[in-house]
């Protein structure tokens, strides 16, 4: 097939030799971790040739390059994915098998590269996969955090965070590139100088600086010899800490720069959809942005001499507002280092930078205190002041007398720097991540901006890579799809999945489909037994909600419903009840107290329910510890039901929803984010949709919310469940343990509004939708058809489609071919 370089015997020799030179051992003596290292270096050896060939193609074909700027890249494991994309997975598994090595066990030795929180970071990883696969020139630009997303332990039902020292055994796939190091400056003050010609110069003095050193990770395209680069920056002190600095009286400065370098890249902020105005976070942002922009400009200037034509060859995509300082940093370099005038610099910047919005949640919006911002980035701040001054002037001339507009739209207002406003004003494109989300941006959150610059706004519905989430994560289903379609081309053209529809009434095919699901449920049950010590029955309905813990995602609605079912089963043991396993997986941000209470509640309910012999195992609850990309692959493959139950209007898109769909799990969800488009594709009869619409939610919000106490008073089953939060049922007798959750639902004093996320309002509708799930599942043929139709209808949700849309509407990239 594709990889002539991959020769079995040569590869085996390579692995043996790596074990020897790296660890002075034989294959038989090597530990599993050592085998992982040895195998990975052998794979890297093969990748390197294509990586070099890709760089050569960049040089020769001079394509336009997209720089995907992101504070997060949630890559997961590299080894298996690289083998999949090299189309060498089965061959390598076979070669290793002949050496007595189990590839699967080797893969499990690799730590996840968890340089991200959730959806936004994983989207960046899927995009890199698609860009390489489709043959586009792209760099991912980010930070090489020493500690990624924390590892989650559950102790006594509580989340405990432990550091993720993902580099402790070394990272075999990365390459350190000290020759591309850049200096990044912080703080100090700006002195204005005039030269003989009367030109103004801005000189930063008394600053601290760090050396940004890039590490490159290969991004292997599928079956096309293309290898792009994820470039993540490490920080080092500019000069090594030296004693002679002490003699010169610079001891403190030397220590400070050493500390600055160490601190900047130390750890990923574990906040998801939540802004925390921490100075170190802003340092991280400017650090990787400054280094990346400097790097992109040096690369451009090596082969081009007219900086005005930068937008023809370079585009910076800003993954949410986190990299928005890029706008001002690019302006700074064009003005201060390239010597351009304001208008020409602005012309270039506003044709090079583009912005993606991932949330409408108010608490996620980045608003930096001006004093902090201007102290840390004095020159960048001056530039933002000038951008703001000119923009405000434009508002006033376009809307004379409307000072409300100025107040709502200015970049600098009330002592804050509003990063979203800066991104919109300077970006040539502003996109949302699902159709509904983009409409809400245009009509509500960003209405003023949309009115003033409608042509910037566009939608790019998210997608996922089928290479990782089907080919790698679900090999049984992948092979079945290939057989049924008579081609493996779906791996690069997911729209072909619609060809499966013709099997939706074929009894034999449906049986095969369900038996694959069953095997994946057994595999998941095995994982749960090994990692949680809980035995679950693969014949029960696997109902799965895995995603970050956030109130708007409403894990609380799910677990309250489990409590409700438990009451029902206890009260009516005679009623038939189809056995169910409710599976949760979620990390809560370390400081998000209420989210942690919900995790504790899930575990308490699991404790009570799983140990109640009287219900005959009809109900099981499992909390998966340390939910992450690698175990997510097992969870999607083994799920029957996909829980996507966010309060309508709050989930910008969701991408887990697409991964479940791809793996044949119908959605139980609200009309939110990309669920809307999933239902459009699969048909409402093949999903379980319930609850308030986004318009209804927004309308309630505009009228100060609703009154949950009415529901509590009128529905005794709901009341019972809510009361069980504070009657000791799940608090091991402790009535205070869940008092705050109880208050959050009923008490206006405890939060600005009671039940802000409409949990009680949607409860009945949710319970009814769950009854429909059960009824549908009892009818085996109907369920099988529904599940298969979900897989067959997922074509739209490939990140390949998303990337082609970005290319056509925003980036205008050229396709590359790599010759080997």
462 is a contact residue toward ligand 26Q (CB under 6 A): yes
Q: Provide the CA 569 distance to its chain's centre, in angstroms.
A: 38
Q: Which is nearer to ligand 26Q, 315 or 459 (CB)?
A: 459
401 is written with which tokens?
């007398």
In 715-752, alpha helices (H)? 716-723, 739-746
Q: Which is nearer to ligand 26Q, 272 or 329 (CB)?
A: 272
Query: Which residue, 325, 431, 321, 328, is CA-closest to 387?
Result: 328
Does residue 370 bind ligand 26Q (CB under 6 A)?
A: no
Choices 21-29, 111-119, 210-218, 383-391 (CB under 6 A): range interacting with ligand 26Q: 111-119
Binding mask 611-650 for ligand 26Q (x = CB under 6 A): ----------------------------------------
Question: By three-state DSSP, how is residue 440 classified?
Answer: helix
Rounded alpha-carbon distances, angstroms, from residue 797 to 485, 629, 648, 810: 18, 18, 20, 19
Q: What residues are labeled active site? A: 358, 547-548, 553, 655, 659
Paired tokens of 493: 């053209």
Strands 227-237 and 208-220: antiparallel
Q: Which of 76, 80, 111, 118 binds ligand 26Q (CB under 6 A)?
A: 118
Selected from 12, 182, 358, 554, the binder of ligand 26Q by CB under 6 A is: 358
Contact with ligand 26Q (CB under 6 A): which of 14, 234, 329, 366?
A: 366
Q: Map tokens 């949410």 to a residue.
A: 320
Report the residue number, 107 or 445, with the smaller CB distance to ligand 26Q.
Answer: 445
Strands 580-585 and 619-624, how do they pair?
parallel
Q: Which of 551/651 has CB closer to ligand 26Q?
A: 651
| Binding segment (CB under 6 A) for ligand 26Q, from list 358-366, 770-778, 785-793, 794-802 | 358-366
Q: 620 vs 801, which CB is nearer to ligand 26Q?
A: 801
Asked whether position 120 contacts ligand 26Q by CB under 6 A, the answer is yes
Among 123, 331, 665, 678, binds ligand 26Q (CB under 6 A): 123
Positive/negative CA dihedral, 296, 300, 306, 312? negative
724: tokens are 């069980």
Nearest distance, CB of residue 93 and ligand 26Q, angstroms: 32
Name the residue nearer to ligand 26Q (CB basis): 233 or 269: 269
CB of 677 to ligand 26Q, least distance (A): 12
Residues 313-352, one symbol each (x = binds ligand 26Q by CB under 6 A, - = not), give ----------------------------------------
Q: Which of residues 445, 625, 643, 651 is near ligand 26Q by CB under 6 A?
A: 651
Question: Max CA-CA distance within the chain?
Answer: 95
Task: Output the CA–CA distances (angstroms, integers) from residue 505 to 332, 500, 662, 784, 785, in the order listed.
Answer: 63, 10, 19, 9, 7
Which residue has its beta carbon closest to ligand 26Q? 119
Q: Any idea how long the chain is?
A: 820
3-state helix, strand, coil in the chain (%, to 5): 55, 15, 30
Over the window 251 to 290, marking each residue x when it contacts ligand 26Q by CB under 6 A and - when it does not, the resulting string is ------------------x-xxxxxx----x---------
Asked if 148 interacts with ligand 26Q (CB under 6 A), we say: no
**C-beta of 437: minimal distance to ligand 26Q in Å?**
8
Nearer to ligand 26Q, 50 or 651 (CB): 651
Q: If we measure between CA atoms, which residue out of 574, 581, 492, 567 comes closest to residue 536?
A: 581
Q: Minimum Å distance from CB 801 to ligand 26Q?
A: 15
SS3 label, residue 431: strand
Tokens 């970049």: give the residue.
411
Distance, CA of 775 to CA of 319 (rounded, Å): 42
**How many chain residues interact with ligand 26Q (CB under 6 A)?**
25
Least gap, CB of 656 to ligand 26Q (angstroms):
8
652 touches ligand 26Q by CB under 6 A: yes
Shortest distance, CB of residue 433 to ligand 26Q, whole angstroms? 4
Separation between Cα atoms, residue 64 and residue 813, nearest integer Å: 5
375, containing H or E segment: helix 370-376
Which listed residue (655, 686, 729, 790) binds ligand 26Q by CB under 6 A? 655
Do residues 551 and 645 make contact, with C-beta atoms less than 8 angstroms apart? no
Q: Which is nearer to ligand 26Q, 360 or 478 (CB)?
A: 360
Quote the Cα angle for 205-208-210, to 5°.
Answer: 130
Query: For ligand 26Q, which is the closer residue by CB, 367 or 484?
Result: 367
- Smallest distance from ligand 26Q to CB 301, Å: 32
CA separation (Å) from 378 to 48, 71, 385? 42, 22, 11
654 binds ligand 26Q (CB under 6 A): yes
- For Cα atoms 105, 106, 108, give the angle at the middle one, nearest 5 degrees: 65
| H or E element that contains 811 | none
Site residues for ligand 26Q, window 706-745 (CB under 6 A)? none
- In the bound complex, what is the minimum distance in angstroms from residue 383's beta carbon to ligand 26Q? 21
CB of 270 to ligand 26Q, least distance (A): 8
- DSSP-derived letter for residue 206 is S
Which one, of 85, 79, 220, 216, lies nearest residue 140 by Cα? 216
Nearer to ligand 26Q, 269 or 623 (CB): 269
State in angstroms the smallest separation of the CB of 232 from ligand 26Q.
17
Classify residue 587 as left (phi > 0), alpha (psi -120 to 50) or beta.
beta
How do beta strands 367-369 and 412-413 pair? unpaired
Residue 154's contacts (CB-CB under 8 Å, 6 or more residues apart) are 160, 599, 603, 623, 625
Question: Does 433 help bind ligand 26Q (rule: CB under 6 A)?
Answer: yes
463 binds ligand 26Q (CB under 6 A): no
Three-class DSSP category at 752: coil
Interface residue with ligand 26Q among 40, 81, 82, 117 (CB under 6 A) is: 117
Residue 797 near ligand 26Q by CB under 6 A: no
Cβ–Cβ < 8 Å for 554, 647: yes
Residues of this chain that interact with ligand 26Q (CB under 6 A) are: 117-120, 123, 269, 271-276, 281, 358-359, 364, 366, 433, 462, 651-655, 673
């Amino acid at each position: 097939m594709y990889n002539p370089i991959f020769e079995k015997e040569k590869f085996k020799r390579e692995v043996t030799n790596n074990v020897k030179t790296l660890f002075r051992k034989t294959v038989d003596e090597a530990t599993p971790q050592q085998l992982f290292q040895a195998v990975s270096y052998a794979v890297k050896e093969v990748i390197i040739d294509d990586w070099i060939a890709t760089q050569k193609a960049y040089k020769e074909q001079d394509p336009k390059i997209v720089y995907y700027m992101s504070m997060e890249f949630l890559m997961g494991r590299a080894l298996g994915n690289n083998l999949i994309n090299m189309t060498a997975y089965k061959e390598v598994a076979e070669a290793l098998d002949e050496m007595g090595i189990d590839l699967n066990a080797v893969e499990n030795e690799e730590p996840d590269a968890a340089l991200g929180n959730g959806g936004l970071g994983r989207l960046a990883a899927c995009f890199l996969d698609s860009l390489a696969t489709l043959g586009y020139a792209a760099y991912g630009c980010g930070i090489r955090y020493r500690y990624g997303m924390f590892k989650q332990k559950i102790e006594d039902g509580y989340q405990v965070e432990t550091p993720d020292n993902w580099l402790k055994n070394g990272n075999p796939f990365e390459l350190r590139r000290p020759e591309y190091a850049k200096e990044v400056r912080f703080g100090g003050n700006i002195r204005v100088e005039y030269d003989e010609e009367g030109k103004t110069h801005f000189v930063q003095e008394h600053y601290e600086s760090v050396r940004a050193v890039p590490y490159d990770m290969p991004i292997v395209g599928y079956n096309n010899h293309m290898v792009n680069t994820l470039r993540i920056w490490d920080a080092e002190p500019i000069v090594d800490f030296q004693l002679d600095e002490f003699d010169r009286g610079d001891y403190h400065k030397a220590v400070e720069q050493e500390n600055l370098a160490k601190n900047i890249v130390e750890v990923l902020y574990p906040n998801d959809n939540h802004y925390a105005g921490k100075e170190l976070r802003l340092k991280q942002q400017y650090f990787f942005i400054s280094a990346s922009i400097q790097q992109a400009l040096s690369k451009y200037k090596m082969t081009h001499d007219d900086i005005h034509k930068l937008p023809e060859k370079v585009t910076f995509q800003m993954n949410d507002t986190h990299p928005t300082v890029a706008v001002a940093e690019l302006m700074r370099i064009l003005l201060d280092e390239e010597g351009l005038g304001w208008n020409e610099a602005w012309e270039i910047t506003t044709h090079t930078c583009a912005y993606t919005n991932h949330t409408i949640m108010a608490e996620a919006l980045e608003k930096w205190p001006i004093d902090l911002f201007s102290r840390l980035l004095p020159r960048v701040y001056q530039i933002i002041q000038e951008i703001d001054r000119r923009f405000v002037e434009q508002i006033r001339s376009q809307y004379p007398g409307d000072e409300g507009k100025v107040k709502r739209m200015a970049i600098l207002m009330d002592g804050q720097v509003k990063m979203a406003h800066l991104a919109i004003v300077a970006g040539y494109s502003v996109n949302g991540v699902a159709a509904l989300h983009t409409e809400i941006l245009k009509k509500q959150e960003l209405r003023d901006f949309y009115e003033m610059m409608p042509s910037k706004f566009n939608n790019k519905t998210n997608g996922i890579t089928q290479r990782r989430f089907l080919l790698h994560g679900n090999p049984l289903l992948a092979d079945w799809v290939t057989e049924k379609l008579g081609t493996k081309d779906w791996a690069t053209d997911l729209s072909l999945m619609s060809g499966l529809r013709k099997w939706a009434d074929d009894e034999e095919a449906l049986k095969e489909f369900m038996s694959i699901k069953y095997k994946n449920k057994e595999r998941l049950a095995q994982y749960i037994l090994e990692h949680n010590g809980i035995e679950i029955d693969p014949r029960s309905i696997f109902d799965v909600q895995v995603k970050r813990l956030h109130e708007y995602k409403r894990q609380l609605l799910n677990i309250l419903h489990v409590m409700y079912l438990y009451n029902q089963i206890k009260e009516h043991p005679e009623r038939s009840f189809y056995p169910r396993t409710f599976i949760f997986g979620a990390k809560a941000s370390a400081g998000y107290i209420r989210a942690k209470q919900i995790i504790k509640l899930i575990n308490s309910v699991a404790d009570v329910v799983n140990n109640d012999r009287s219900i005959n195992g009809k109900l099981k609850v499992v909390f998966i510890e340390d939910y992450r990309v690698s175990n997510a692959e097992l969870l999607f493959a083994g799920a029957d039901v996909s829980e996507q139950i966010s309060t309508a209007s709050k989930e910008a898109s969701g991408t887990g929803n697409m991964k479940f769909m791809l793996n044949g799990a119908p959605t139980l969800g609200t009309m939110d984010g990309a669920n809307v488009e999933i239902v459009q594709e699969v048909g409402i009869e093949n999903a379980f949709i319930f609850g308030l619409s986004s318009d209804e939610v927004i309308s309630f919000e505009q009228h100060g919310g609703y009154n949950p106490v009415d529901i509590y008073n009128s529905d005794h089953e709901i009341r019972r469940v809510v009361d069980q939060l504070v009657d000791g049922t799940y608090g091991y007798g402790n009535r205070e343990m869940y008092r705050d959750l109880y208050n959050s639902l009923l008490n206006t004093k405890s939060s600005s509004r009671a039940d802000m996320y409409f949990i009680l309002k949607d409860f009945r509708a949710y319970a009814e939708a769950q009854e429909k799930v059960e009824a549908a599942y009892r009818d085996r043929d109907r369920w099988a058809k529904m599940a298969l139709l979900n897989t067959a209808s997922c074509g739209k949700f490939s990140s390949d489609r998303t990337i082609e849309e970005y290319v056509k509407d925003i980036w205008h990239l050229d396709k590359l071919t790599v010759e080997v």
